[in-house]
Structure 1
């Protein structure tokens, strides 16, 4: 037993009581004595003033003491006191809150001792001293709250924190570290995170850190977390513990998403978003990079897609985009890994072929053209014009080689333009016939009807030639109409009819892109106009409707009547003529209908 205990445990109970009476009025601390047998409690004046009472305002008893205890502390304090009386285990310290006169609780620290009777060794009194610890306790609570908030901040911050000693033991880690890696502390230790981090530190700048010359280290790594690969940025600082042993605090940031965005941004900066090929900026950069003696001969190929405007105007830009993607795929399939392919802009592509002479480049271009011809990827054949130029001398300027390739491209495109357009038009007509079962016999019959009516109206040879083309191409716009609408046997819904009516406008836009046929574009546009102005798409009437369009309207209607369509049964000749007669003056030019009746015997 220490001296403090000895001072309080007296051999004579009367002597102890006398001692307590002497000090209780003089001590600056609150003193009290509780007689366990009688329940009497004796206190000094400081006990009252500590709680804000005067001696006559409060009667100190064990029961009243219990009522003053804070509800959250009461059970703990009373249990401790009861155990102490039974066990008599020397002086005990206990902190608790007690109610003062002003109805506020104050923090008190009590030092308590159960005193044995010198006669029978039974416990008779419990004595104690109270100290006001309100200020220090509140400061302690505030400090604990700050520590709790700081710990919470560390756990919730996006930065992972790990503290590791120089033996590679993980001393501390916050919750963010576990969330970043998707692993518990146990798994972090099992996977050797501490050793991994120390190895990184050592690889980078351990000498500086050990010499305390560099306060901060940094490294970026690609590592595995919970089965996934991730990018992290690791920083660390060096410090000593209280014994002078080196510790390292690591700060780990998950930069996987940041890296992904950086790579995506880098990709977008140097790639064409539609085709996935390199863009013009990257091409120019690479063309200058490859412009060295070691890469000679250096060939450049410039390409221009044929028919893109036609596809955009006829089928929409989505189909035009698909055409560009198909061309890009052909280029990638026929060119080598070391070749730089780019979409130069719009419908143009460019290629740099290092260590490639012009003859080899021309062979590659031939392969590209052959692959395009064999492909069947859309409404028109894949077709691209290509120009090639080669740098063989270091003195030649690369920009001049590029211009030479462009000039060859434009010459080839000009010479092949008519053939290309005819090929495109033939392909469209073939696809239209296949799509809607339009037979050549039907086209021939329609031409014959229209030409005979045109001759009866004394049209010129040029007009008859136009009429011949119009009869051949008037429905070319149907190539863009879905089959389930154009071939539907039931009556079309309103929205379907609007789509169906658009074929004359589609045909108009398509033919306007072909110079050899552009002069009949307005007739294709108006061949569904009606004499009374109720037709489409412009609502023209009478002589506002081009003559050739009026002729075709009669010939086409008659052919539909006598040959039928999926949505209409064929009529007899007499029935068809009666229907034409009914439509004269409303649907058809009445004078032309009369002339048509005259030529019918000649074409049957």
Structure 2
């Protein structure tokens, strides 16, 4: 193949380079000997100038074609091929999406291949983080089920280790118990591929012993988790590093298990990569351990009863083909006449045939959600008037099915006349509806209580800070507490206790206004923020709570729902903190009065 044969490849790359550069993608052109004959600036900035080298020499320092090479597959089949590749540059590992498309001469013979390379590292990390959180929420749910159904402590511990490894994607999970006399920690349950690490493991809670001054002993003595996100860089892990290195352990976390306020054991979890245990993961494992501690208390109570009487392109078509292979749509706007060209993939994303979709910028704008149009116009006018920098915007568009999907638009002005007037704007679009759904799910989990669906403590605290500067006064606060929840948990089980909590949440949610903030701020404690509500309004709301409580108790056959309530009203932001304390104080005052009066469910509130 001569240089003349591949000259069209240079022309195709040069023509599309300015468009793809707008979205930060790398472009290379390879001849049939896999030799790089063109690189754009993005590729040069990442890998250096590799023109003249074969791709496997340049990127993998290898004399052989890489396994799964999309360029090789492209030459063999004559079709577009897309793969994900993991590449290490320096000390950092990247995930690249690479898409190879054949370039043919006028006779239809393949003379070269265009490869588009996109850095997908951030997206993959975000996907992995969401998956990790979902798996651990599932693990937490399964832990609770195991606590309910396990009849013996050792069986529960084995279940916990298996769940943690299977759903948390860990190398090893171990539960050990502490000898109260010697401080020695003995593994009683474990699971994971790195289980042989335990063969040489010696751990203690005694600070006077060398094996007691590591992560596990520190966690037990302090009564709080100890996290090593760089196991081989943590100053207190030296004694255990050789064995950890042998079995691929790079991070760990230790969580004390308590009984009657004292550490009686520890859950130790290990992962095969640094930085695994971020704050959210640590919080989920802590919640799991808290539930295990509850399970131990249940076993103890059950055991006492038995003894006395014991349970989550060469042309735009070629460019479009490459983009289609990367699952993106392509759009091209002729600013002079308003015509818009959309790739078939773009049309397919919004449910249309290529000939039936919008062909002008005005028609395309009509598909955009009304709330998003001002932002889109602002971006477009900014591009046309002031800048040649790439733009990026997320917005909603209506599909043929009359549903709104989320899309990510990227592009830039790629052509101007001699006076700098824009002639052409081009770019790509991607459907990000699933990504948005996952973001909304994570946002919901960060602000809501998973058991009741009410707002959680973090959201309530943030609202209290915001209310301090609000003008919606008078503002009232209600504090509510479920009476006798511990008795129900102890005598009827955790499931019935959860049912009681849900009933209390329902009574509160049904009794207050839609704009009121109703939150679960503790195990059996709730709080409500009522803006523009004086004392009389709060009294009426509390009456509705008591009425709803009575209706619920008409169907409760084993126990009754009893909620103690206290309220207070602030006339301005300076009184807000004191109103919260007063509402809490009144709630406890009437809880005591109710007990003294003989558990009268109607005597449960104070304003």
Q: Which has the higher contact order (CA 8 A, sep 6+)?
A: 2
TM-score, normalised by the number of residues in structure 2: 0.42
Higher strand share: 2
Higher helix share: 1
Point out the structure with max Rg over C-alpha. Answer: 1
TM-score, normalised by the number of residues in structure 1: 0.42
